[in-house]
Structure 1
């Protein structure tokens, strides 16, 4: 999760919007979402998890590549002019859906101006509403969170907002989960107010870092459900340790190697969690001791691998933003989750190398044993972002979203349950058979 945050120190993306962005109803009864990317390309997504990048080519045709690879997938897309809203996707005609959109400015914690958007399905019927709490990203959720349309395309309203310090919202970027949770409380109130009589069940969907923020917000306001995508029930420092161990195990190393690698991870964690005041000597000593070991090149973690190549001076320079973001390195997730009686769905990736699911799943199982309304779903061959992947050398390249991931999220928001959901391994609460 903090990988996204650290990467923002090294690069930034320029939003690229296009009038064809939107939700479409195809003539075969299915839906299709067209989303912007950080380039001139577009990205299509379907509820079954399939996706591809669209590049504008000759004869006003957009050609698609498979997932996030560079391989053509044989799908072409043609759009009518924007006023007509028509589309032909892989030979299937479709039309832009008349989703109901309301943009709003509202007030977060401390009077901070936040900018949000409510998107409802067509019609006047009461619908569930998902308030989207995004992760560690620095970009605008109103631009890039495609779920703001995918939920309404399938009959569930969505409220999306730029968190403080991002997009058009005011305030400073922060990793203070308590502050972000208060903003999320304000977002729920705003969503209910805007939806009026159309508001049915209202709940949170938190992705990645949102898995820390959304449950905390739910202890401060009444919601009907919480959906967590690839979140954690451990702290950010524990996350990095788990990620170091997980990747080394994938590479075939035993616990004795992991124990040594943790010396590197713990030193880097101390540097960051002490606001760059401690841990440098420990890190230099561990580097000197292990840098020539064969496993050293395979030390990854969530943030360790990005810091490890840096000198102490480089860490002090590039790490300055951390001293102002108020990252809650020792955050106690379980203290929140143990007192939360709101129905929760945790969707985890079995192969997540950034936020490994093993310890989180064990902790969630302990909550289920105590009778708390926690449903877990482990998706095989899925990583952070709930994408499946193929290998290109030592690198993973995402190919699609896990089958069943979005249908499960949509059904949970609606309060229904129609398994199976792809190949996911689902464990329901001990005292309940459905959400």
Structure 2
């Protein structure tokens, strides 16, 4: 899947616990309770890519970037104040314990981050990756959680950062890795935490619930994830694209037929489904929308010649071991622990109308699920501005999102959480 498979630069394990290229250590700066800022690894390609800053209220950007909000020079982090002056922020004391653990014979790199002086025993949360190839160690989520007073275990997904193995998007294997991560975290933090569970973002929403069942976790939280198959994700992206472009219901239904046909080829791992796809392309060959369809993979498959798909489709489009018919509903039915789902109200990459309905249905069946939706946000809980042609420009992570996650994990409820609303 084109967006899920986007690769980003990995960092060495040694560098993650030492200095970033700008000579400012990754970590939390400022005062707890006064919107501290997390300095984390880059999220873009290139050896000279700048580190990122992330405030607990969701403001984000490049350190020493054009917006000038956070600077780093000679090891000192400073933040621009309301009057335009910069004030140096002290690094918050955290206990960071690097470790290594094994899953299915592969050695993975992990890091336990704990408050240096905790009042009582904080909850322990294992951060589960999305589809990114950037390391989990040194990322912004673990440090933002630490800024909220949680104990956090971050690890590099197999095939990324300092972990061994090959990069994959096989949800069951990744869930085994996440369960092993929680096992290691529990041992490292033994006697110093209250409850232990998972947070998974995006693709982590497929992985974390499965891992929670395997590891007998106390809770699981998911941000902008889906309760559907990856095939349904592609289909729903196609439907949303068609609706946003103003096509009528009949055209939307026809485009969905094309997406379903492309999905059959993908789900067969390119061993079948070609006749159905060819028939759909012939049926709608004269439609102006046919070659404007994108989805997660449908647009790429319908643009290809069948002979090319048969020869090289699998290594090009299906080389990540994705379980295309993964039963996300069954994974949630297997859980009786508290779940939090936080969805982006205008998510283009992971349209969530079906997810919302399935979560509501599971809640009606007695599952302990809390469901929040933040309006005017896209995938990643990003607020945005939108041009007349529909192009979106990310501005920040929506305010209240991080605080909601931390409060829920702490078993607290202190609304309002920005514009987020809890669905009944």
* Equivalent pair of 2:10/2:161 in contact (CA under 8 Å): no
In structure 2, what is the equivalent of residue 177 of structure 1? 171
Q: For structure 2, which runs of at least 5 residues remain unmatched after alignment? A: 13-19
Separation (CA, whole Å) in 2 of partners of 1:32 and 1:7: 27
Q: CA deviation at 1:26?
A: 4.9
- TM-score by length of structure 1 reads 0.86
User: Could you say which residue in structure 1 is the equivalent of 2:15?
Assistant: none
> By percentage of residues, which structure has more strand?
1
Query: Is this contact kept in 1: 2:6–2:133, CA < 8 A?
Result: no
Give how far 1:294 is off. 2.8
**1:101 and 1:118 in contact (8 A); partners too:** yes
Q: Residue 64 of structure 1: which of 54, 63, 66 is its match?
A: 66
- Contact 1:26/1:93, CA 8 A, preserved across alignment: no
Q: Does 405-414 or 277-286 show the bigger shift?
A: 277-286
Q: Distance in 1 between matches of 2:146 and 2:192?
A: 13
| 1:200 aligned counterpart, secondary structure | coil
- Cα–Cα, structure 1 residues 397 and 310, in superposed 2: closer, same or farther, change >3 Å? farther
Is residue 317 from structure 1 mapped to residue 317 from structure 2 by the alignment?
no
Tell me the residue number matched to 2:17.
none
Alignment CA distance shift 1:282-1:406 (3 Å): same
For residue 371 of structure 1, what is the aligned residue in structure 2? 366
Q: CA RMSD in A?
A: 2.3
Does structure 2 retain, via aligned residues, the 8 Å contact 1:24–1:96? yes
5 Å-filtered alignment, 1:52-201, equals 52-54=61-63, 62-65=64-67, 75-82=68-75, 85-90=76-81, 91-108=86-103, 110-124=104-118, 125-143=120-138, 145-201=139-195
Deviation string, structure 1 residues 157-176 (Cα, Å, up to 9, x no partner): 11111122222222222332
For 2:175 and 2:157, the matched residues in 1 are separated by: 10
Shift of 1:274: 1.1
Structure 1 partner of 2:423: 427
Note the C-alpha offset of 1:231: 0.8
Counterpart Cα distance in 2 of 1:27 and 1:185: 30
Q: Distance in 1 between matches of 2:191 and 2:226?
A: 34
Aligned-pair distance for 1:204? 0.3
Q: Which residue of 1 aligns with 2:38?
A: 33
Q: Deviations over 1:113-133 (max 9, x none)?
A: 111111112215421111011
Contact 1:248 1:298 in 2 (8 A): no
- Matched with 2:240 is 246
Per-residue CA deviations over 1:314-357 (Å, capped at 9, x if unaligned) read 54536406555321111111112123111000000111111111
What is the DSSP-based 3-state SS (H/G/I as helix, E as strand, rest coil) of the residue aligned with 1:355?
A: coil
**Structure 1 residues 202-211 or 39-48, which shifts more?**
39-48
Q: 1:317 to 1:221 in 2, by over 3 A?
A: same
Conservation of the 8 A alpha-carbon contact between 2:291 and 2:302: no
Partners of 2:70 and 2:322 lie apart in 1 by 43
Secondary structure of the residue aligned to 2:189 is helix
Give the match's secondary structure for 1:237.
helix
Match of 1:50 in 2: 59
Gap runs ≥5 in structure 1: 55-61, 66-74, 429-435
Name the structure 2 match of 1:410. 406
- Report the CA distance shift for 1:292/1:95 in structure 2 as closer, same or farther (over 3 A): farther
Aligned-partner Cα distance in 1 for 2:248–2:217: 44
Match of 1:377, SS?
A: strand
Counterpart CA distance in 2 for 1:405 and 1:28 is 16
Q: Equivalent residue for 1:71?
A: none
Distance 1:162 1:370, change over 3 A: same
Q: Check whether the contact 1:382–1:402 (CA below 8 A) recurs between aligned residues.
A: yes
* Pick aligned residue for 1:355 from 333, 350, 354: 350
Which residue of 346, 349, 358 maps to 2:341? Answer: 346
Could you report, residue by residue, the CA deviation over 1:66-102 in whole angstroms, capped at 9, with x for unpaired residues? xxxxxxxxx34333522xx442434343111122111
Does the 8 Å CA contact 2:10/2:160 hold for their aligned counterparts? no
Aligned to 1:280: 274
* Aligned CA distance change for structure 1 residues 36 and 173 (closer, same or farther; 3 Å): closer
- Cα distance per residue 1:4-26 (max 9 Å; x no partner): 33444xxx546594332321115
